[in-house]
Amino acid sequence: MGCSPITRKRENFIVVTSKPSKKKCSLKTENKENLGIRRSQTKNLKIKENDLEIKELIENKEIKTEENNGKISNTMGDVNDDKGKDKEKDNTEKIMNVKIITDENPFIRYEKISLLGRGNVSEVYKVYNKDNGKYRAMKIIDKLSPKYKPNLYNQIIKEISVLNSLDHFNILKNFEVYDAQNNLYIINQLCSPIELFEKLQGDKIFSELKTANIMKQIISAINFCRLKGIAHRDLRLEKILIDSQDDISNEIFNIKILNFINCEYFEKNKLTELIGMPYYIAPEVLKGSYTEKCDMWSCGVIMYTLLCGIPPFFSENDDEVIELVKIGKFNNNPHEMKNVSKEAKDLIKSLIKIDVDKRLSSEEALNHPWFKIMTEKIHGLNKSSNTKIQQIIENIKNFCPKKSLLYTFAYLIFNFSNKNETNELRIIFNEFDTDNDGRLNKKDFALGLSKVIPIGDAEKEVNRIFNYIDADNGGYIEFQEFLMATFDTKNILSSDNLRMCFKSFDIDNNGEIDIKEIEESLGKKLDINDWNDLLEIIKPSKYGSLNFDEFVKVMKLLLRND
């Protein structure tokens, strides 16, 4: 039966329903304002009110831990939250790696540029960081709103904690959190506000090449989460953003996954909670007992939708969609897929599979023949040059920092580097990452470098680098660590970058920085012995602190670039 989706509100959220029509099913909606904030719920999907509330909040996000001012609170008990005094104890213990600034106005550092969007209790602005010259996204959450619940704070902070633990290029992460009496300010890296859903609306269907590029990024990110013991549980087109607006018209572009508000650590917790939207939810989730493979079902749904322009499970109402999901019934050979390869169709069938044991894992999906075929074509469009790899090798040879002070260099790269150079290194990282798990082991790294130097020399350099940056001796490095080892220090250690970095560290604005200020800015503890060793070499005018010229000497000494 043909159908044409329309949108309508139900209670405090928006659901997609369908109306009989002679037209073919499509993702098109009549009210563009509803894009990206559509909510589905029926009597079969008893999602908690709190979860729905949270889903309305989180739309924009990205990357690690940035500069900081003011007092930092690492435990929930230290936070000034009048509404959150009844926070659960076990949730408090899970809050890690989140810097919460409680005694500073964020607009001392950030300037509003333009409004990006509004939610039920929030607004998102493009803002300018006066210290480092970077543009960010600022979400302002109104804690005085009747729709703001006390336990919402906990769940937001937990999500940010998870995001800060996931160093993957395709996962949006957070910079800072400001907790004021009336508002919560969340600072995220800025990217395009264009959702994958909206992009598909314009294009109707995606080519196989474009779909492969997107799906590889999504599944690589989900595989990275799996390796960290995290299930996303709410993957959908509306929660995937295109990274850069400049890439909108390109066949190949980068994406960012957001909204980890419903994620869970599956190794420590039995997954039973009913989470998700009808189009994307896995059948075992409806039964109340499931694994992280629920995300792979959602990946199959997304892949099918990109190639067809319609969801695999679509009917006149949500109840009927749920019934179709329960039996896994969908058309794997629609007219829109007449030119799609048999390998792509096979991958979809292997993901949208009722039998969880037979459903592909994220690792297995990345090794599917379709990805092997399409990755060759993608690399052909994005292929790095041997000249760039040779430059990387020279950078690696000059890399010899103090282990415990690596974070200062990572901070410098992350906050002040040129995006084009970072993207070039990401392309090379992806080429080296032969098993597509979002990280490099020694073999991957050495094989990549062996394109321009003998394998023995490559292995020697890789072993040396791993001794510095593989902090937990896990046998692999992630993208941020790869950047530290391969970035051109001559570019990053410019006078302007160093001055902005120093200003960012100088929390009390007295023209000097000490180890406590650096630790607050990084959100990490440094080795006091390494710090004292550097002070002994530099011999600062005031022992224990550094002025700007002394800081420059430390950074160049740290990276052997003097």
Same domain, 371 and 444: no
User: Does 122 share its domain with 173?
Assistant: yes
Write down the mean pLDDT value for the chain.
78
* Length of the chain, in residues: 562
Residue 130's alpha-carbon distances to 113, 136, 458, 504, 511, in angstroms, are 12, 11, 41, 10, 17
Q: What is the CATH number of the domain that holds 178?
A: 3.30.200.20
Task: For residue 333, tell me if it sits in a domain.
Answer: yes
Among 47-51, 419-423, 523-527, 549-553, the range of highest mean pLDDT: 549-553
pLDDT at 58 over 70: no
Shared domain for 224 and 90, answered yes or no, is no
pLDDT for res 289: 95
Single residue among 189, 210, 226 that ends a domain in this structure: 189
Asked if pLDDT for residue 378 goes beyond 80, the answer is no
Q: Is residue 158 part of a domain?
A: yes
What contacts 24+ positions apart, CB below 8 Å, involve 263-266? 263/159, 263/162, 263/225, 263/230, 263/231, 263/232, 263/233, 263/234, 264/230, 264/231, 264/233, 265/229, 265/230, 265/231, 266/229, 266/230, 266/231, 266/291, 266/292
**Active site positions, annotated:** 234
Q: Which residues are CB-contacts of 65 (< 8 A; sequence separation ≥ 6)? A: 97, 99, 164, 174, 175, 176, 522, 523, 524
Has residue 213 got a pLDDT over 60? yes
Minimal CA–CA distance to 240: which of 229, 223, 231, 253? 253
Question: What is the per-residue pLDDT across 308-365, written as a single tens digit (0 to 9) for each?
Answer: 999 999 887 899 999 999 999 888 778 888 889 999 999 999 999 999 999 999 999 9
Q: Residues 519, 525: contact at Cβ < 8 Å?
A: yes
CATH number at residue 489: 1.10.238.10
- CA-angle at 354, arms to 353 and 357, nearest 5°: 80
Last residue of a domain, one of 378, 402, 433: 378
Report the domain count for the chain: 3
What is the chain's Cα-based Rg?
24
**Helix or strand (DSSP H, E) at 283:** helix 283-287
Instruction: Judge if 116 and 86 occupy the same domain.
Output: yes
pLDDT at 390: 86
The verdict on 151 and 198 lying in the same domain is: no
Q: Which of 27-36, 163-172, 540-549 has the lowest mean pLDDT?
A: 27-36
Residues 438 and 372 in one domain: no
Lowest mean pLDDT among 40-54, 99-113, 223-237, 518-532: 40-54
Domain span at residue 170 reads: 61-189
Q: Distance between alpha carbon 40 and the CA centroid of its chain, in Å?
A: 24
Percent of the chain surpassing pLDDT 90:
38
Is residue 311 located within the same domain as residue 200? yes
Q: What is the pLDDT of residues 130-147, one digit of tens each?
A: 877 889 999 999 999 999
Whether 330 and 247 share a structural domain:
yes
CATH label of the domain that carries residue 371: 1.10.510.10
Distance (Å, whole) CA 67 – CA 506: 10
Of 144, 162, 189, the last residue of a domain is 189
Higher pLDDT among residues 48 and 418, named by residue: 418
Token reading at 333:
């050979």
Query: Which span out of 19-23, 74-78, 166-170, 524-528 was modeled with the highest average pLDDT?
Result: 166-170
Q: Which residue has the higher pLDDT, 44 or 477?
A: 477
Query: Residue 41: pLDDT above 80?
Result: no
Q: What pLDDT is stored for residue 509 in this prediction? A: 83
Residue 175 belongs to a domain:
yes
- Show the DSSP H helices in 328-418 as ranges: 342-351, 362-366, 369-382, 386-397, 406-416
Would 4 be classed as within a structural domain?
Answer: no
Give the torsion through C-alpha atoms of 366, 367, 368, 371, to 10 deg: 60
With a cut of 60, say whether residue 529 has pLDDT above it. Answer: yes
* Partners of 513 in beta bridges: 546
- Banded pLDDT at 283 (limits 50, 70, 90): very high
Q: How far apart are CA 464 and CA 461, in angstroms?
A: 5
User: Is 12 inside any structural domain?
Assistant: no
User: What is the structure's pLDDT at 475?
Assistant: 87
pLDDT per residue as tens digits for the range 494-508: 888 888 888 888 888
Q: Are 38 and 15 in contact (CB under 8 A)?
A: yes
532 shares a domain with 439: yes
Say yes or no to pLDDT of 298 above 80: yes
In a domain, 10, yes or no: no
What is the C-alpha separation between 235 and 31, in angstroms, rounded?
A: 22
**Do 232 and 150 have their domain in common?**
no
**Is 185 found in the same domain as 203?**
no
pLDDT band at 457; cut points 50, 70, 90: very high
Indicate whether 112 belongs to any domain. Answer: yes
Asked if residue 471 is part of any domain, the answer here is: yes
173/223 same-domain check: no
Q: Does 38 score more than 80 pLDDT?
A: no
User: What percentage of the chain reaches a pLDDT higher than 70?
Assistant: 79
Distance of CA 340 to CAs 89, 202, 279, 349, 377, Å? Answer: 52, 20, 22, 13, 16
